[in-house]
Chains A and B, each alone.
Chain A
Amino acid sequence: MLRKVGQVTVAIKTMLNSKKVVPYIFLFPFIAFFLIFRLWPIVWSFLISFTSYFGGDITFIGIDNYIELFKDRVFWKSVGNTFYFVIIYNVIMIFVAIVMAVIVSSPKIRGRRIYRSIYFMPMAMMLPVVAIVFDLIFAKNIGLISSVFNVFGAELDVRWFGDMKLAMWGVIIMRVWRGVGYYCAYFLAGLAGISDDVYEAADIDGSGAITTFFKITLPLLKPMLMFVVIMSTILSFQIFDEPWILTQGGPANSTLTLQMYLYQTSFLDGNLSKGSAVAYIMTLFMMFFSIMYVKQLSEKE
């Protein structure tokens, strides 16, 4: 009897140590999490978007959620705001980040490391902190901008996040402030990959700084530029934290973004199925960029 138990444990031990079984044991925790928190949710929320579901009974209603959304003006307003934000933010941010990277990587700079560290520091501020700090920068009377105006004897007494025209620009400015140094790090990595010989050749040919930039630097930086555009588009499309904390979409829905619309629909109104439909519409909008992203990742493989 005892010998049998011994044999069984030995058999189990050899099995657990066999090269056919071991990889699955290593993969098991990941696969379990992947199925529960990734694959199943992706499928489930697609299916649920064709039903009416508030956390209780599920009723199939076809494409009614989608039709309702297409008829909803507020939804379209949030679509417009999101695109407006994504486009303007990315254009400004990427332009400044490239300029920053080119300048930081130019030869003969003292204290390059210090500048690089400073530019990266905004990433140390969490988004809610950024939001609150910028509210106090853009605040009426006590705000930094108000105070600076005051020092010069001028008046600017408006709270940016209470103003329909300025609120979205406030959001754009703070995102640019935080993102520029971060994406600059990507461009610096891209620039480091360009060999000095190329620049020397350009210098000997007598091409000016600006010609060199457009004819040599930019084309060689293109792969990294593509990567940054794809990644920052996907991320900025899901903008939520700062405008939600500061304005909750206001004033007059001028900062309402798609993710805020999703949050309101699914977690404040409790309509989980309609929220899922919003999520899938967002996915559709981002599809092009997401596929490019996966393509780049798989090319790295």
Chain B
Amino acid sequence: MFLGRCDLKVSKTRKDRIVKIFIHTMLTLFAVVTLIPFYWMIVNSFKSSGDFYSIEKSLIPLNPTFQNYVELFADTFFTRWMGNSFVVSILSVLLGLLICSAAGYAFGVYNFRFKKVIFWTVLSTVAIPEIVTIIPVFDIMVKANLIDKYASLILPYAVSMFGIFLMKQYVETSLPKELVECARIDGVSEYGIFFKIALPLVKPGLGVLGIFLWINSWSSYFWPLIMIRSQEMMTLPLGLATLYADPFDLKYGVLMAANTISTIPIIIIFLFAQEQFVAGLTVGAVKG
């Protein structure tokens, strides 16, 4: 009897241990598979052109070199593309935050006549995929003479349906109605309430939405592909693809250097604001 119980206990802890080992093996396996492309990208950015064509295939650089990075900055438009990407993404984030928070605030705080009609019209168009709007917006940009200009990349991205819903929710949950009433009695104007009281209170929401808007703009490839014509106006994703597509000058080392540097800003933001980053990307649909 006593022995029996003991046996049972031993087998249970043993089973626990096997499960634990299995779980940790899986965790590690997933992590390794996830990190391999990062490893391969970074390692290849330090390979010399000789390493690529040597008969000896290797998983590490044989003659590590910074040559690829030097060439990247000297021979390509890389810095220009990076600058363009920063300008475009920062401006679309600022514009988007302003528009979305103002609209979300209007929906969250006020009752007005066409509120329901406007809200449901907006919501119903979410069912129409973005792809439908691409051709007409291109046509608009051609007619407005905005092709190959920053505006063609900023304006279409400035408004986000998710942004409106998100900011509406934040306004409803983190801005007490009494506070708005009090401020009104104290004689604060409606705009003062929005800028001085509401915006500071919905800051976490602005952070989440900001990251969402930024990553959508920063990593967009299809839109610039249609709107941008000249090398000088390209953003990073398009620039990288152009560099890759050059059949006479395909240098994997230089490309991997470019890839590594363009991934770094996103990794930095990810590491410093992880919670917001995950929230920002899972709040709405991010491509991929």
Contact = CB atoms under 8 A, between A and B. Distances in A.
B34 A137 contact: no
B255 interface: yes
B233 interface: no
B62 to A, nearest CB: 12
Nearest to A116: B278
26 contacts: A23-B115, A26-B102, A26-B194, A29-B99, A33-B159, A39-B121, A41-B140, A109-B23, A121-B267, A122-B37, A124-B266, A124-B267, A126-B221, A126-B236, A128-B241, A129-B262, A132-B241, A136-B255, A144-B40, A147-B59, A182-B281, A185-B282, A263-B226, A282-B132, A283-B128, A283-B131
Interface stretch (B25-33, B65-73, B200-208): B25-33
B196 interface: no
Interface of A: 17, 19-20, 22-24, 26-27, 29-31, 33-34, 36-42, 44-46, 48, 55, 99-100, 103-104, 106, 108-109, 115, 117-137, 139, 141-142, 144, 146-148, 150-151, 175, 177-179, 181-182, 185-186, 189, 209, 231, 234-235, 237-238, 240-241, 245, 259, 262-263, 266-267, 272, 275-276, 279-280, 282-283, 286-287, 290-291, 293-294, 297-298, 300-301
Nearest to A236: B288
B240 interface: yes
A109 B222 contact: no
Interface of B: 19-20, 23-24, 26-27, 30-31, 33-38, 40-41, 44, 52-53, 57-59, 98-100, 102-103, 105-107, 109-110, 112, 115, 118, 121-140, 142, 155-156, 158-159, 161, 164-165, 189-191, 194, 215, 218-219, 221-222, 225-226, 236-238, 240-241, 244-245, 252, 255-256, 259, 262-263, 266-267, 270-271, 274, 277-278, 281-282, 285-288
Given A128-B221, A151-B59, 7 more contacts: A37-B156, A117-B274, A124-B266, A127-B237, A133-B40, A133-B259, A294-B123
B283 to A, nearest CB: 11
B112 A115 contact: no
A262 to B, nearest CB: 7
A132 B255 contact: yes
A184 to B, nearest CB: 9
Nearest to A142: B52
B53 to A, nearest CB: 8
